[in-house]
Chain A
Amino acid sequence: MRGFIEKPRYLCALGGALATIRALPQKTIPIIHASSGCGGNLSAAINRACGYAGGGYCSGHSIPSTNVIERDIIFGGEDRLREQIKNTLEIMDGNLYIVVTGCMVDMIGDDSESITREFSDYKAPVLFTETGGFKGNSYKGYDLVLQTIFKNFVEKTDEREEKTVNLFGIVPFQDIFWEGNLRILKELVSKLGYKVNTFFGEGETLEDLKKSSKAALNIVVSNVFGIDAVRVFEQEHGVPFITVDLPIGEKGTERFLKTIGKELSIPEEKVQEVIDEEKGYYYRYLNKVAGNYDNLDFQRYAVVVGDSNYTQALTGFLADDLGWLPELVMVTDMLDDEEKKVVLKGFGNYDSGFKTNVIFDTDSSNIPKHLENIWPNNNESRYSNSFSPAFVIGSSFERDFAKEIGAQHLSITYPVTDRVVMDRGYVGYKGALCLIEDIFSVLVENR
């Protein structure tokens, strides 16, 4: 049993499912079987707390929903669902429809799956995923939708394309920079000579998704997100998977490329060639601002707050690329002990030798307490070794906390309400340049 969560930084399973479906390419349409408010509430979070970029085709209040009421709860909502699916197909223009459910209809025992199956002859596939919000958080919703797609949409095949890989683990909208991040990772792995399916994002097609079973390897850019789904993929289609850390910056991305290179038996020289090229580009630009780092003193103490993917990547980047001092990390995911152990491994062995403090805590208001614990007596006297100059990288929730400790702040992890995010990505070498641009811009904002 998991306890209460103060100011949660994720939605429920239905929310994660809707965000995931929103990110699928080519007119994928969700059909919600739930109360009227589920979709509206979750869409507001997806649109306005994710850098204002959750709109687009069939988003927000355009999403079909059965809007069940008390009568359906008492007598069952199956007829209403049947009617809604039929009329959705009539009105809404989609290439793929996915029925998702809310808590209340799962609880009353509607056989939503059988009702959905009645539409299996329709020209476009109509899939079903049970996503009652109480099943878990956004990450669970992502996992559940992927499992359904892998089982019921991806084609069975014996063919293998040795030069194709699939990439998972970047959860759309929970990672606000998902689209830019996927583009960058796709470009990087392509440079190793591979075709990369990312399923979401630029240039992806439903056809690629359907044929993704031919891939040689599933790469999960996370140690916890999407793992159950790729296990299902492995069972259904025999494609093995590896997990890699989300890479931001030189050190992280080099590790990322080398791990994948090794797994795919790519000659080391080939991998090194890609690393050298990207690194050249990275330092070409970084060198241009490097002088100012010393002159204007760009080094900072830092607090990093967010999900396990970003906190790992950002802390490593700050410690090993930027030479910062990320003293406190708060990982806000709901994780069990095993998962915590795995996640914790991502926070050690820095080249710089820097040691950080990692706290697992889902409750947003606890951050000041954790900082007080690792850095007591902050700013108490003229000669105190205070936690400054400092910088907080987290969500928009941390804006006030940053202000209180006299730190500057950049919102990167969910929720982000004080920035607009479009095609920006922070991973790899090129994304790290973007990130440096954004962080350093905050440092000089008052000049």
Chain B
Amino acid sequence: MAGYCSKDIGSSVDIYLDNLERTFCQTTGCRLNLSMSIFSTLRDTVIIIHAPLGCGSANTSFVNRTTKFQRFRDKDVDGPIWISTNLDELDSISGGESKLEETILYAENEFRPENIIILNSCVPALIGDDIEGIISQIQEEIEAKIILIHCEGFKPRKMEKPFDSIYKGILDNLPDNKSKTNRENLKVNLLNAFQMSTADEQELVRLLEGIGLKVNVSPCYLRPSDIKDVLDAALNISTSNADSYFVQYMRAKYGIPYVLKNMPIGIDNTNKWIRDIARFFNLEERAEDLIDKENKELMKALKPFKGSLAGKTALLIGGSMRTFAMTELLNFLGIQILDVNGNKYSSFTPEIIEELINDKENRIFDTMTAQSFEKANIIERLKPDICIGGIGGMEHGIPSFSVFGQDQISMGYLGVFEMVRRLDRIFKNTSFSKNIGKNSKLPYHREWYEKNPFSYRDESGKSSGSI
């Protein structure tokens, strides 16, 4: 990659991010998409999307899956309900307030939910709907608790921001005071705001319980009224920098400390993750026993797979903590990493990188986002054996390995085993991607592949095309 790297991550990560603008962009996601994914997991809740019809429509593609995961917790649930206020052209001029009001009353009378969550979008923000006003007026008339989440798609640039607004919605509805929590109660919150799958969650709960902790998983898939249980815990455990706002707030307001250092993906990372938590509760001994037993068992299970993957090359693509965490497992397997692309940085990131990667002098990072055209260019140059993290290898004839999916497991020791098993399985037969690679064409001019993959990044600050 010499000559094509953008910037090494050292200091000033946040400053660099502010300049991450492009003069050519491809579509990605927005706060509302993410909010929809997360809030639709909550049970006994109606979501009102205050927007034109299309906002949040990706939900049609995963509603049945969300229902399935909700039923792991409660087999009788009906699945997510969402209502679009269906703002039309006339509303965009005259305002959507009456439609919102009508929708809230319908949600209350028809579904009698515990909570009504309103996701506010670009259009009402531009019209200037007085949503807070409507809520404070209508709240007195109905039983469901109304929670407002601002998710105007044009507002945030970094992907962490949506999580902030989501957590803010949750925090605003917690009581103001709580008595001091004693760490002897051994209660912890394991935070899952959609960053881990159900299988991940089950594995991490198994490990935490293995050292004697009582685990409250929050907030995904809960009943809204159960979220206040987070206040009973002595420690917040996060696996993702998406939780940074929440854990900091909880520490400042309620005095609940947190652990947020790395993602338990990979063997050492999982060991470290357990140790950090155990230290807080003085459970080091129990932790070492567990780690020792688990590591031995895992190593034995991995033995048949290890040799087959050594020497392969990989390109890492995706969100920072997860991506960086993957480096450990790949190193362990002897898979050579050609480039590391993380798409999310926050002030937490440098520490995380310090934690995860010791030889950063020798490795090139670039802040590639979900921008497919840059990805295509880089894959074409590097021609890895596998693309790990996001998608993107198929049309190049290269298999891809997704590190995260709601139906997959990547965390804890079981996550290591299952990922290794999957990697091994993928390499056993790569015919499908080879066939597609030979018989498809990506939508770029040939000349694009000859250019620097970062040619359309604009650090002048003039362009606004954002990630």
Hey, which bits of chain A sit against chain B, CB under 8 A?
1-15, 27, 29, 32, 35-45, 47-49, 57-58, 60-73, 80, 83-84, 87-88, 90-94, 102-104, 107-108, 132-137, 365, 396-397, 399-400, 414-415, 417-418
* Chain B: minimal CB distance from A18 (Å): 9
Q: A5-B86, A73-B126, A83-B465 are in contact. Are A44 and B67 (CB under 8 A)?
A: no
Contact check, A15 vs B54: say whether CB atoms are below 8 A apart: yes
Task: Select from chain A the residue with minimum beta-carbon distance to B390.
Answer: A61
The interface residues of chain B lying within 8 Å CB-to-CB of A43 are 27
User: Are A3 and B64 within 8 A (Cβ)?
Assistant: no
Q: Are the C-beta atoms of A133 and B106 separated by less than 8 Å?
A: no
Structural contact, A61 and B123, CB atoms closer than 8 A? no
Q: Is B87 an interface residue (CB 8 A)?
A: yes
Contact of B62 among A35, A48, A64 (CB under 8 A): A48
**Interchain nearest-CB distance for B159 vs A (Å):** 10
Contact A417 B24 (CB under 8 A): no
Q: For the complex, what is the distance from the CA of A80 to the CA of B442, rounded to whole Å?
A: 25
B89/A38 in contact, CB under 8 A: no
Q: How far is the CB of A188 from chain B (nearest CB, A)?
A: 30
Residues of A near B82 (CB, < 8 A) are 6-7
**B26-61 residues at the A interface, CB under 8 angstroms:** 26-33, 48, 51-58, 60-61
> Once the chains bind, are B25 and A66 in contact (CB under 8 Å)?
yes
Contacting pair A36 B52 (CB below 8 A): no
Task: Give Cα A27 to B29, complex, Å.
Answer: 24
Q: Are B61 and A48 in contact (CB under 8 A)?
A: yes
- Kindly list chain A residues whose C-beta atoms are within 8 Å of the C-beta of B464: 68-69, 71-72, 80
Give the complex CA separation of A11 and B122 in angstroms. Answer: 16
> Nearest B residue to A75 by beta-carbon distance?
B464
Q: Is the CB–CB distance between B456 and A87 below 8 Å?
A: yes
Which B residues are CB-close (under 8 A) to A135?
A: 88-89
Q: A12-B57, A66-B25 are in contact. Are A35 and B86 (CB under 8 A)?
A: no
Task: Return the contact of B54 from the options A1, A6, A14 (Cβ within 8 A).
Answer: A14
Q: Interface digits, B385-414 against A, CB 8 Å rule (1 contact, 0 not)?
A: 000000000000000000000000000000
Q: Which of A6, A11, A44, A397 has the most CB of B within 10 A?
A: A6
In the complex the two chains form, is A133's CB within 8 Å of B126's CB? no
Binding site for A on B (CB under 8 A): 23-33, 48, 51-58, 60-65, 67, 78-79, 81-92, 99, 102-103, 106, 110-111, 122-123, 126-127, 153-155, 157, 370-373, 441-446, 448, 456, 463-467
**Residue of A12, A60, A84, A108 touching B52 (CB-CB under 8 A):** A12
CB pair A62–B92 under 8 Å, yes or no, is no
Task: State whether A8 touches B88 (Cβ < 8 A).
Answer: no
Q: In the complex, are the beta carbons of B25 and A65 less than 8 A apart?
A: yes
| A27 lies within 8 A of B60 (CB) | no
List residues of chain A with CB within 8 A of the CB of B99.
1, 3-4
CB atoms of B58 and A63 under 8 A apart: no
Q: Judging by beta carbons under 8 Å apart, are B467 and A88 in contact?
A: no
Q: How far is the CA of A386 from the CA of B64 in the complex (A)?
A: 28
A104 touching B154, Cβ below 8 Å: yes
Q: Which of B26, B61, B84 contacts A5 (CB 8 A)?
A: B84
Contact between A41 and B64 (Cβ–Cβ < 8 Å)? no
Pairwise interchain contact B372-A62, C-beta atoms closer than 8 A: yes
Inter-chain contact B373/A35, CB cutoff 8 Å: no
**A41 CA to B54 CA, complexed, in Å:** 8
Give chain B nearest CB distance to A405 CB in angstroms: 14
CB neighbours (8 Å) of B60 from chain A are 7, 9, 45, 49, 397, 414-415, 417
The reply to whether B61 and A3 form a contact with Cβ atoms under 8 Å apart is: no
Query: Across the interface, which residues of B come within 8 angstroms of A42, CB to CB?
Result: 54, 57-58
Measured between alpha carbons, how far is A45 from B55 in the docked complex, in Å? Answer: 11
- CA A87 to CA B457, docked complex, whole Å: 12
- Min CB gap B117→A, angstroms: 15
Q: Smallest CB-CB separation from B463: which chain A residue?
A: A83
A41–B151 CA distance with the chains assembled, in angstroms: 13
Q: Is B32 touching A136 in the complex (CB atoms < 8 A)?
A: no
Contact A41 B443 (CB under 8 A): no
A400→B81 CA distance, assembly (Å): 13
> Which chain A residues lie closer than 8 Å to B63 at the CB level?
7, 397, 417
Contacting residue for A37 out of B89, B153, B373, CB 8 A: B153
Specify which chain A residues have a CB less than 8 angstroms from the CB of B64 in the assembled complex: 396, 399, 417-418
Contact of A70 among B30, B61, B155, B445 (CB under 8 A): B155
Q: Which 7 A-B pairs have the closest CB atoms?
A: A37-B30, A39-B27, A12-B54, A48-B61, A35-B153, A87-B24, A44-B58
With A7-B82, A48-B61, A69-B155 known, 11 other A-B pairs at CB within 8 A are A8-B57, A29-B443, A35-B30, A35-B153, A36-B30, A40-B33, A84-B465, A92-B373, A93-B445, A399-B64, A400-B79
Beta-carbon contact of B89 and A47 below 8 Å? no
**B contact residues around A414 at 8 Å (CB):** 60
B29 adjacent to A40 (CB under 8 Å): yes
Docked Cα-Cα span, A9 to B60, in Å, equals 8
User: Which residue from chain B places its CB closest to the CB of A48 in the assembled complex?
Assistant: B61
| Contact assessment for B83 and A5 in the assembled complex, using a CB-CB cutoff below 8 Å | yes
Central interface residue in A36, A39, A43, by most chain B CB within 10 Å: A36
Q: In the complex, how many angstroms separate the beta carbon of B323 from the nearest chain A beta carbon?
A: 17
Please give, as numbers and ranges, the residues of chain B lying within 8 Å of A58 by CB-CB distance.
443
Shortest Cβ gap from B202 to chain A (Å): 24
A410 → B minimal CB distance (Å): 15
Contact in complex: A400, B154 (CB < 8 Å): no
A91-B103 contact in complex given A40-B29, A61-B370, C-beta closer than 8 Å: no
Q: Distance (Å) between the CB of B406 and the closest chain A CB? A: 12
Residue of A at shortest CB range from B89? A134
Known: A48-B62, A415-B61. Contact between A36 and B466, CB under 8 A? yes
B336 to chain A, nearest CB (A): 27
- Closest residue of chain A to B83 (Cβ to Cβ) is A6
Chain B min CB distance to A197 (Å)? 24
- With beta carbons under 8 angstroms apart, the residue of A36, A103, A417 that contacts B27 is A36
A411's closest neighbor in chain B, by CB? Answer: B64
Pick from A2, A41, A365: contact of B81, CB under 8 Å: A365
Q: Is the CB of A80 within 8 A of B465?
A: yes
User: Which chain B residue lies CB-closest to A399?
Assistant: B64
Distance from A65 Cβ to chain B, minimum over Cβ atoms (Å) = 4
A63 to chain B, nearest CB (A): 5
Q: Which residue of B lies closest to A106 (CB)?
A: B92
Q: What separation, in Å, do the CA atoms of A90 and B445 have in the docked complex?
A: 8
Q: Is the CB of B52 within 8 A of A67?
A: no
A15 near B443: Cβ-Cβ < 8 Å: no
Nearest to B80 among chain A residues (CB) is: A7
Partner of A38, one of B85, B103, B153: B153
B57 touches A41 (CB 8 A): yes
The answer to whether B31 and A37 touch across the interface, beta carbons within 8 angstroms, is yes
Closest to B48 in A: A4
Report whether A8 and B445 are in contact in the complex, using a CB–CB cutoff of 8 Å. no
Inter-chain contact B92/A103, CB cutoff 8 Å: yes
14 contacts across the A-B interface (CB closer than 8 A) = A6-B82, A36-B153, A36-B466, A38-B27, A40-B33, A65-B26, A72-B464, A80-B465, A87-B456, A88-B24, A92-B443, A108-B126, A417-B64, A417-B65
Asked if A133 meets B78 with Cβ closer than 8 Å, knowing A37-B153, A58-B443, the reply is no
A108 to B122, CA, bound (A): 11
Contact of A45 among B57, B103, B467 (CB under 8 A): B57
Residues of A close to B467: CB separation below 8 A: 36, 67
CB-defined contacts of B67 to chain A, threshold 8 Å: 400
Task: Enumerate chain B residues within 8 angstroms of A15, measured Cβ to Cβ.
Answer: 53-54, 57
Whether B106 lies near A37 (C-beta < 8 A) is no
A83 to B371, CA, bound (A): 17
| Contact assessment for A134 and B92 in the assembled complex, using a CB-CB cutoff below 8 Å | yes
Q: How far is the CA of A137 from the CA of B53 in the complex (A)?
A: 7
List A contacts of B26 (CB < 8 A): 39, 61-65
Q: Of B57, B78, B126, which one neighbours A104 at CB under 8 angstroms?
A: B126
The residue in A37, A64, A92 that gathers the most chain B C-beta atoms within 10 A of its C-beta is A37
Complex formed: what's the CA distance from A182 to B465 in Å? 38
